[in-house]
């Protein structure tokens, strides 16, 4: 076979982004998957985005990744979450058609010229002189490549549990992969074990929707991709809210002795924020009910997903419990929920580029790094694909800072802190939440994406046009004034104080009660000015409004970020013998020794390294 | 950052440790003096010059033992000494330590030190023993700072604070504070990251109460700093009064009261005379106000800004009057001072001096409690005669009582460290913004900016509150996960 630049193992959300990014930047890429029909499969719930995750998709898109475009083209419901909070919290979320989503990804990948596919299972990484040079598959085929990205998700030594039944596999009806993690373990990689789970899928025809509360999408849909102005959802579908009850809990409880979670079969850690229903009733036994979301699996299917009911109890227990839920009394189950245990590589073994510290040109991305979520996986895949391409072309690596992107926060957290449960992004993990908004991901990242050769010409033009226009609007609102007579009527209607003398328009916009659209409605000159915006109007106005309304907060956070970033500039010598610095706490010493931070800033973020440890380190370095 | 800088200046490579030595007792002649050595070679160096009564080498002796013997430089006898032996890591610095108790003459101390230097020790830099203790993990930063305060403390009360801080009382109070704040932050972050979850969010009133409670803890801690500082540096007492009213007589009388240190503080303002008097372990710093010496017209003098400044810096104002003065003039002066110090925590004491000029009955009539009904509760009037030692003694007691209730709560935490103080003040300011934000009902993601600032500052003392901790707290209290 030909020699490739980049070989990607696994075609999930991480693998797809990795392969697309490297190939679109110009690398010759081989994408290997066990099953060509399962590309970018949504193994868990059929939704993209959500709080903090929606922001990540916007960032992937701004850099030139594909998750946003695919989401836009396959969504069956859109909601902007947290709309009642400040703009930093607005988080887009889409319900997607699972099958269309996968098909759309395949189409996108197939349209990339430099991307090849191979359906097979990799069981060995070929390594020469501490450097990855290719892979070997179950069909005994050797494929040579300059770099290898492992994005094998939950497939490495995957083991599924439903009650006492155990089945080897990486996903329902799919085999696990063997050999890879054992090989890497033998050459000195640390391998851990994690657990996650998924709920049952049920037949929509057997649900009594009249007993459930409907949750519709927003009236006004938005897009995930900055390349799209508008997405038309032709056949929108709703989600429904259901509740468990004491009766349901009693049945679940009766099955606990057959639960692999509680009889000691499953020892690995699952995510605390996404517990199984059995964990919920045990941990929060005082609660009478738990909320469930019944989510549609697609536009033209009767299949529904019971979000919040993930379980590894025996099928019979799951079945009986589900049938006690109001509205699901006659529910037919398509398949039960299950728990899955899988191998992962503790991510303190990789660098910020996602390249492993031990083997050159070998990258880990996605769930193999102990994360969870399509978005988190996609972001890592993208960054691994980018950095693999940059490295073989001897270009500077791309590392996003914590004040630049959630992607930067994600990767820095992984390599600096490691994980002790599947890692999911939360906005609280970001120090600079107000800077990392979904509306400005393009402003933050598209120039970077363009510079490295991933974001297209069209994308950069669009971004520049948008912000040129946005800045003009801000200037206009700052320059132009308004008389009391022109606006006071509106102000009174909005329940805010009238003005007594002529005022600059932007001063009026600073009031929380007044939106930029109120100004457009009321003031002819504003309307004239806004009418001049031909494209991306709502985004431009939204951006201008946020920049004006939240200027104080944004400025303050920028200043804090600059101050903290100074710590990032203090480099730590590579050869420090931490075990000799006894005034650093024992835990701090061990963590520093293991992670070997590059800068004082990174050291200060390692859990177990206290501020006084950092002070000692500074003293030690003669600062 | 004061103590911190000392460490930084002294920093050098840990794996290249010299053995250091220094005289550990105060400078000057005394009955005995202690010279301390610390480092890998401390025992070997001592063995080169120390001849034990039982002829055994120190290197062969068990740790935590004491030997009697002589120090000789070859044949030349230096002194008869007692040597205490501590072995790493069970010593103050965590290294091998030898303490040599010798006779206290300065000459002997110097000679002994010179001998030790000759055989391989190096003279310690200021604070270096403590720095080594810190670097070897024997104490944390706030303890090390407390040691520095302890060394510098010049009164019994300040000694007590420094000791308490070393025992970790401060850390404990701060730990409680940290927990409260962690709970608050968790409630806030819950609303942001888990708004879609089926959990009950804290109502605004609960959040407001919580932030008020945290704020008041921080406020009282940072308030204690001025008190802590007073204990460390002395209670400033301004003396206001006419030149001939007997200020120096009073001061001299108080000086004869005190049992410990009397010193003149150098480098204070040129126009104020400061005397420190230690009464019952509390240092009082008497500040004579300059303006009043220039003219005898008291009211006019009060207009002089410098006098106000002195009064402003003080904790207690002594209004010294003559027993012959008219009551209404005294009252006027009192009210004038009060006006300048309103809403202030100062105590004003009217001291009626020269009581010997009137007979007892006259005194009691003229200066009866009724006549002084204009005094605030915290203020008082005292009648003394500087010549009457008993009266002076009673006055000294009253002076101590005035300040003592504030200093005496042994369990109270008092901040004496500038670094801690600044961190607390900054935390308090950020929390105040949070409080205001909550009242104005601004959205919590914006509030979070100030909360994070508060956490950041508090983290300078307590160690940071990490997002992992916040999330952990949320997951343990709320059922998250649909």
For every residue of A322-370, which 3-state class applies, written as one string?
HCCCCCCCCCCEEECCEEEEEEECCHHHECCCCEECCCECEEECHHHHC
Instruction: Flag whether residue B445 sits within 8 Å of chain A, measured between CB atoms.
Output: yes
Instruction: Flag whether residue B1 sits within 8 Å of chain A, measured between CB atoms.
Output: no
Assess whether B99 and B24 both reside in one domain: yes
Collect all residues with Cβ–Cβ distance below 8 Å to A462 and sequence separation of at least 6: A226, A227, A535, A536
Binary contact (A550, B448; C-beta < 8 A): no
CATH number reported for the structural domain that contains residue B218 in this entry: 1.20.120.430
User: Is B263's pLDDT higher than 50?
Assistant: no
- In a mutational test of the A interface, the residue from B5, B10, B467 whose CB has the highest number of chain A CBs within 10 Å is B467
The residue written with tokens 């989503």 in the block is: A101
User: Is B215's pLDDT higher than 50?
Assistant: yes
Assess whether B107 and B26 both reside in one domain: yes
The residue written with tokens 């950095």 in the block is: A387
CA pair distance A403, A561, nearest whole angstrom: 7
Assess whether B184 and B257 both reside in one domain: no
Strands A338-344 and A333-335, by their bridges, are unpaired
Nearest to A581 among B14, B94, B443 (CB): B14
ipTM of the shown complex: 0.83
Whether A147 contacts A391, CB under 8 Å = yes
- Which residue ranges make up each domain of chain A? 4-197+342-451, 201-339, 457-554, 570-620
Helix residue spans in B303-417 (DSSP H): 305-313, 327-340, 360-366, 389-407
pLDDT tens sequence across A507-522: 999 988 899 999 999 9
CATH number reported for the structural domain that contains residue B303 in this entry: 3.40.50.300
Binary contact (B14, A580; C-beta < 8 A): yes
Whether A363 contacts A381, CB under 8 Å = no
Whether A54 contacts A5, CB under 8 Å = no
Assess whether B130 and B39 both reside in one domain: yes
Binary contact (B468, A550; C-beta < 8 A): no
Q: Which of B 3-62 lie inside 8 A of A, CB atoms? A: 4, 7-8, 11, 14-15
Q: DSSP string covering A483-536, please? A: -HHHHHHHHHHTTSPPPSS-EEHHHHHTSTT--HHHHHHH-HHHHHHHHT--SS
Ramachandran quadrant class, A389 (left: phi over 0; alpha: psi -120 to 50; beta: rest): alpha
CA pair distance B127, B105, nearest whole angstrom: 24
Q: Take residue A280 and report the two structure tokens written for it.
A: 């919920």
For residue A161, report the phi and psi dihedrals to the nearest 5 degrees. -130, 130
Helix (H) or strand (E) holding B131, with range, is: helix B128-135
Indicate the pLDDT class of residue A103, thresholds 50, 70 and 90.
very high
pLDDT tens sequence across A39-66: 999 999 999 999 999 999 999 999 999 9
Nearest to A427 among B140, B193, B449 (CB): B193
Strands B274-279 and A291-296, by their bridges, are unpaired
For residue B58, cis peptide bond before it (omega within 30 degrees of 0) = no
B-chain CB neighbours of A495 within 8 Å are: none
SS3 B254: helix
B-chain CB neighbours of A427 within 8 Å are: 192-193, 445
Nearest to B195 among A82, A280, A610 (CB): A82
Q: Take residue B382 and report the two structure tokens written for it.
A: 């005292």
Q: Where does a domain end: B90, B118, B138?
A: B138
Residue B150 lies in a domain: no
pLDDT tens sequence across A354-390: 999 999 999 999 999 999 999 999 999 999 999 999 9
Binary contact (A290, B479; C-beta < 8 A): yes
Q: Which domain holds residue B272?
A: 234-407
CA pair distance B308, B293, nearest whole angstrom: 14
Instruction: Flag whether residue B471 sits within 8 Å of chain A, measured between CB atoms.
Output: yes
What is the pTM (predicted TM-score) of this model?
A: 0.75
Nearest to B471 among A51, A428, A553 (CB): A428
Q: Which of A 97-116 lie inside 8 A of B, CB atoms? A: none
CA pair distance A122, A9, nearest whole angstrom: 7
Instruction: Flag whether residue A283 sits within 8 Å of chain B, measured between CB atoms.
Output: yes
Q: What domain count does chain B have?
A: 3
Quote the minimal CA–CA distance from A507 to chain B in Å: 18
The answer regarding whether domain A201-339 maps to CATH 1.10.287.3510 reads no
Assess whether B238 and B320 both reside in one domain: yes
Beta-bridged to residue A117, according to DSSP, are A31
Whether A231 contacts A284, CB under 8 Å = no
Whether A398 contacts A172, CB under 8 Å = no
Q: What is the dihedral of CA A15, A19, A24, A25, to 10 degrees?
A: 100
The predicted structure's pLDDT at residue B448: 87
Residues recorded for chain A = 623
Quote the minimal CA–CA distance from B468 to chain A in Å: 8
Binary contact (B482, A292; C-beta < 8 A): yes
Lowest mean pLDDT among A543-552, B276-285, B422-431: B276-285
Q: Cα–Cα–Cα angle for A471, A473, A478, nearest 5°? A: 95
Nearest to B444 among A85, A292, A429 (CB): A85
Binary contact (B448, A433; C-beta < 8 A): yes
Binary contact (A273, B480; C-beta < 8 A): yes
CA pair distance A310, A44, nearest whole angstrom: 10
Q: Which residue has the higher pLDDT, A622 or A332?
A: A332
Instruction: Flag whether residue A533 sits within 8 Å of chain B, measured between CB atoms.
Output: no
Lowest mean pLDDT among A523-532, A541-550, B125-134: B125-134
CATH number reported for the structural domain that contains residue B46 in this entry: 3.30.1360.120
CA pair distance B365, B381, nearest whole angstrom: 14
Q: Where does a domain end: B407, B427, B444?
A: B407
What is the rounded average pLDDT of the residues B198-215? 85
Assess whether B66 and B124 both reside in one domain: yes
What is the rounded average pLDDT of the residues B385-413? 70
Assess whether B393 and B434 both reside in one domain: no
CA pair distance B158, B345, nearest whole angstrom: 21
Residue B66 lies in a domain: yes
Which CATH superfamily includes the segment(s) A4-197+342-451? FAD/NAD(P)-binding domain (3.50.50.60)
Residue B148 lies in a domain: no
Give the chain B residue whose CA is nearest to the CA of A289: B198
CA pair distance A419, A416, nearest whole angstrom: 9
Reference B467, options A3, A607, A324; nearest CA is: A607
Q: Where does a domain end: B366, B389, B407?
A: B407
Assess whether B348 and B473 both reside in one domain: no
Using CA atoms, how far residue B260 sits from A500, B250, B400, in Å, is 70, 18, 15
Strands B97-103 and B32-38, by their bridges, are antiparallel
Whether A364 contacts A415, CB under 8 Å = no
Please give the mean pLDDT across all residues of chain A: 93
Collect all residues with Cβ–Cβ distance below 8 Å to A122 and sequence separation of at least 6: A9, A32, A135, A136, A137, A138, A152, A177, A180
The predicted structure's pLDDT at residue B171: 62
Assess whether B253 and B320 both reside in one domain: yes
Reference A102, options A173, A37, A54; nearest CA is: A37
Binary contact (B481, A88; C-beta < 8 A): no
Whether B457 contacts B423, CB under 8 Å = yes
Binary contact (B468, A50; C-beta < 8 A): no
Using CA atoms, how far residue A471 sits from A443, A531, A533, B93, B210, in Å, is 12, 16, 12, 62, 41
The predicted structure's pLDDT at residue A529: 93
For residue A216, report the phi and psi dihedrals to the nearest 5 degrees. -85, 165
Q: Take residue A472 and report the two structure tokens written for it.
A: 């003009």
Q: What is the dihedral of CA A450, A456, A457, A462, to 10 degrees?
A: -90
Whether A589 contacts A581, CB under 8 Å = yes
Q: Take residue A530 and report the two structure tokens written for it.
A: 């806004």
A4-197+342-451 and A457-554 agree in CATH topology: no
Reference A408, options A426, A391, A430, A389; nearest CA is: A430
SS3 B130: helix
Beta-bridged to residue A340, according to DSSP, are A160, A196
Indicate the pLDDT class of residue B462, thresholds 50, 70 and 90.
low
The predicted structure's pLDDT at residue B207: 86
pLDDT tens sequence across B158-200: 555 555 554 456 666 777 778 888 888 888 888 888 888 877 7
Collect all residues with Cβ–Cβ distance below 8 Å to A558 and sequence separation of at least 6: A435
Q: Which residue has the higher pLDDT, B156 or A613?
A: A613
Give the chain A residue whose CA is nearest to the CA of B186: A428
Assess whether B286 and B382 both reside in one domain: yes
Collect all residues with Cβ–Cβ distance below 8 Å to A294 and sequence separation of at least 6: A202, A207, A212, A239, A240, A241, A242, A304, A305, A306, A307, A327, A328
pLDDT tens sequence across A204-257: 999 999 999 999 999 888 999 999 988 888 788 999 999 999 999 999 999 999
CA pair distance B460, A2, nearest whole angstrom: 57
pLDDT tens sequence across A382-419: 999 999 999 999 999 999 999 999 999 999 999 998 99
Whether B241 contacts B434, CB under 8 Å = no
* CATH code that applies to domain A570-620: 1.10.150.570
Nearest to B193 among A426, A610, A612 (CB): A426
pLDDT tens sequence across A125-137: 999 999 999 999 9
Whether A148 contacts A18, CB under 8 Å = no
Indicate the pLDDT class of residue B305, thresholds 50, 70 and 90.
low
Q: Which of A 28-57 lie inside 8 A of B, CB atoms? A: 50-52
Assess whether B128 and B77 both reside in one domain: yes
User: Is B109's pLDDT higher than 50?
Assistant: yes
A vs B: CB pairs below 8 A:
121
With 0-12 / 13-18 / 19 or more C-beta atoms within 10 angstroms meaning exposed / middle / buried, residue B259 is: exposed
Helix, strand, coil percent values for chain B (each to nearest 5) = 50, 15, 30
Whether A417 contacts A55, CB under 8 Å = no
Assess whether B210 and B256 both reside in one domain: no
Q: Take residue A121 and report the two structure tokens written for it.
A: 């299972």
State which CATH number among 1.10.3720.10, 3.30.450.40, 3.40.50.10860, 1.10.10.1800 fits the domain covering A457-554.
Answer: 1.10.10.1800
Instruction: Flag whether residue B129 sits within 8 Å of chain A, measured between CB atoms.
Output: no
Reference B351, options B402, B300, B306, B304; nearest CA is: B402
Q: What is the dihedral of CA A108, A109, A111, A116, to 10 degrees?
A: -170
The predicted structure's pLDDT at residue B149: 60
């Amino acid at each position: 076979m030909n020699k490739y630049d980049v070989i990607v193992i696994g075609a999930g959300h991480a693998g797809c982004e990795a392969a697309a990014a490297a190939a679109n930047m110009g690398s010759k890429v081989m994408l290997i998957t066990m099953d060509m029909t399962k590309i970018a499969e949504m193994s868990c719930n059929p939704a993209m985005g959500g709080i903090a995750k929606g922001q990540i998709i916007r960032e992937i898109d701004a850099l030139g990744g594909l998750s946003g475009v695919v989401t836009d083209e396959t969504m069956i419901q859109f909601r902007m979450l947290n709309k009642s909070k400040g703009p930093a919290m607005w988080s887009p979320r889409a319900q997607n058609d699972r099958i269309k989503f996968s098909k759309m990804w395949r189409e996108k990948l197939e349209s990339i010229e430099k991307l090849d596919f191979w359906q097979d299972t990799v069981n060995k990484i070929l390594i020469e002189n501490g450097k990855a040079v290719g892979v070997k598959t179950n069909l005994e085929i050797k494929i040579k490549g300059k770099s290898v990205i492992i994005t094998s998700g939950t497939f490495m030594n995957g083991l599924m549990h439903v009650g006492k039944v155990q089945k080897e596999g990486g996903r329902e009806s799919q085999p696990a992969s063997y050999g890879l993690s054992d090989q890497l373990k033998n050459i000195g990689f640390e391998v851990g074990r994690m657990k996650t789970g998924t709920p049952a899928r049920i037949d929509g025809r057997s649900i009594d929707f009249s007993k459930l509360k409907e949750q519709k999408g927003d009236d006004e849909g938005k897009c995930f991709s900055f390349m799209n102005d508008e997405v038309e959802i032709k056949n929108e579908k709703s989600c429904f809210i259901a509740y468990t009850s004491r009766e349901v809990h009693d049945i679940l409880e009766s099955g606990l002795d057959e639960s692999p979670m509680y009889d000691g079969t499953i020892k690995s850690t699952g995510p605390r924020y996404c517990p199984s229903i059995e964990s919920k009733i045990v941990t929060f036994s005082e609660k009478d009910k738990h909320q469930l979301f019944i989510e549609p699996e697609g536009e033209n299917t009767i299949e529904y997903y019971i979000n919040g009911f993930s379980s590894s109890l025996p099928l019979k227990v799951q079945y009986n419990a589900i049938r006690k839920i109001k509205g699901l009394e006659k529910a037919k189950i398509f398949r039960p929920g299950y728990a899955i245990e899988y191998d992962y590589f503790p991510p303190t073994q990789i660098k910020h580029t996602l390249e492993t510290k031990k083997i050159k040109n070998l990258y880990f991305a996605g769930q193999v790094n102990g994360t969870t979520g399509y978005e988190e996986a996609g972001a890592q895949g993208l960054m691994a694909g980018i950095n693999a391409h940059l490295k073989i072309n001897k270009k500077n690596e791309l590392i996003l800072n914590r004040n630049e992107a959630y992607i930067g926060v994600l990767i820095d957290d992984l390599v600096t802190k490691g994980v002790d449960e599947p890692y999911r992004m939360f906005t609280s993990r970001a120090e600079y939440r107000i800077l990392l908004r979904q509306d400005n991901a393009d402003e933050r990242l598209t120039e970077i994406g363009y510079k490295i050769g991933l974001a297209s010409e069209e994308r950069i033009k669009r971004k520049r046009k948008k912000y040129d226009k946005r800045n003009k609007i801000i200037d206009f609102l700052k320059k132009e004034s308004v008389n009391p007579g022109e606006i006071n009527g509106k102000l009174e209607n909005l329940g805010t104080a009238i003005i007594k003398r002529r005022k600059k328009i932007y001063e009026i916009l600073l009031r929380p009660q007044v939106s930029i659209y109120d100004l457009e409605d009321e003031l002819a000159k504003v309307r004239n000015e806004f009418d001049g915006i031909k494209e991306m109007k709502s985004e431009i106005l939204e951006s201008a409004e946020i920049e004006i309304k939240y200027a104080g907060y944004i400025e303050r956070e920028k200043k804090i970020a600059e101050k903290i970033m100074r710590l990032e500039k203090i480099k730590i010598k590579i050869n420090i013998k931490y075990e000799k610095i006894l005034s650093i706490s024992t835990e701090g010493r061990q963590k520093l020794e293991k992670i070997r931070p590059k800068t004082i800033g990174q050291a200060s973020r390692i859990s177990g390294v206290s501020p006084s440890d950092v002070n000692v380190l500074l003293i030690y370095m003669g600062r | 950052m004061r103590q911190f800088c000392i460490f930084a200046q002294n920093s050098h490579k840990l794996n290249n440790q010299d053995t250091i030595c220094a005289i550990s007792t105060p400078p000057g002649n005394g009955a005995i003096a202690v010279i301390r050595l610390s480092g890998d070679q401390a025992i070997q160096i001592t063995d080169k010059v120390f001849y034990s009564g039982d002829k055994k080498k120190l290197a062969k002796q068990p740790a935590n033992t004491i030997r009697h013997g002589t120090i000789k430089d070859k044949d030349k006898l230096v002194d008869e000494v007692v040597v205490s032996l501590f072995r790493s890591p069970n010593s103050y610095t965590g290294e091998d330590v030898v303490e040599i108790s010798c006779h206290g003459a300065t000459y002997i101390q110097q000679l002994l030190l010179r001998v030790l230097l000759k055989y391989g020790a190096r003279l310690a830099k200021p604070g270096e023993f403590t720095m080594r203790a810190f670097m070897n993990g024997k104490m944390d930063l706030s303890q090390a700072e407390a040691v520095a305060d302890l060394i510098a403390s010049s009164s019994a009360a300040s000694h007590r604070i420094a000791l308490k801080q070393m025992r970790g009382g401060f850390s404990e109070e701060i730990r409680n504070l940290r927990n409260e704040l962690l709970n608050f932050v968790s409630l806030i972050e819950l609303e942001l990251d888990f708004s879609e979850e089926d959990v009950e969010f804290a109502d605004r009133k609960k959040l407001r109460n919580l932030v008020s409670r945290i704020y008041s803890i921080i406020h009282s801690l940072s308030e204690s700093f001025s008190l802590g500082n007073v204990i460390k540096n002395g209670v400033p007492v301004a003396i206001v009064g006419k030149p001939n009213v007997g200020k120096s007589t009073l001061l001299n009388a108080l000086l004869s009261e005190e049992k410990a240190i009397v010193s003149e503080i150098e480098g204070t303002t040129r126009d104020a005379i400061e005397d420190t008097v230690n009464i019952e372990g509390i240092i009082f710093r008497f500040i004579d106000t300059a303006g009043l010496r220039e003219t005898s017209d008291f009211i006019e003098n009060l207009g002089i800004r410098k006098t106000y400044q002195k009064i402003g810096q003080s904790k207690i104002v002594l209004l010294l009057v003559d027993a012959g003065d008219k009551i209404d003039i005294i009252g006027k002066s009192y009210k004038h001072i009060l006006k300048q110090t309103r809403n202030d925590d100062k105590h004003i004491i009217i001291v009626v001096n020269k009581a010997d000029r009137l007979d007892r009955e006259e005194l009691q009539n003229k200066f009866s409690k009724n006549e002084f009904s204009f005094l605030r509760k915290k203020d008082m009037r005292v009648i003394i005669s500087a010549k009457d030692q008993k009266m002076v003694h009673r006055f000294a007691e009253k002076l101590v009582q005035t300040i003592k209730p504030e200093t005496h709560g042994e369990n109270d935490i008092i901040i004496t460290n500038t670094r801690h103080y600044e961190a607390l003040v900054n935390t308090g300011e950020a929390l105040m913004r949070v409080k205001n934000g909550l009242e104005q009902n601004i959205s919590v993601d914006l509030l979070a900016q100030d909360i994070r600032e508060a956490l950041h500052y508090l983290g300078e003392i307590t160690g940071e509150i990490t997002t992992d901790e916040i999330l952990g707290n949320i997951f343990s209290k709320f059922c998250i996960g649909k």
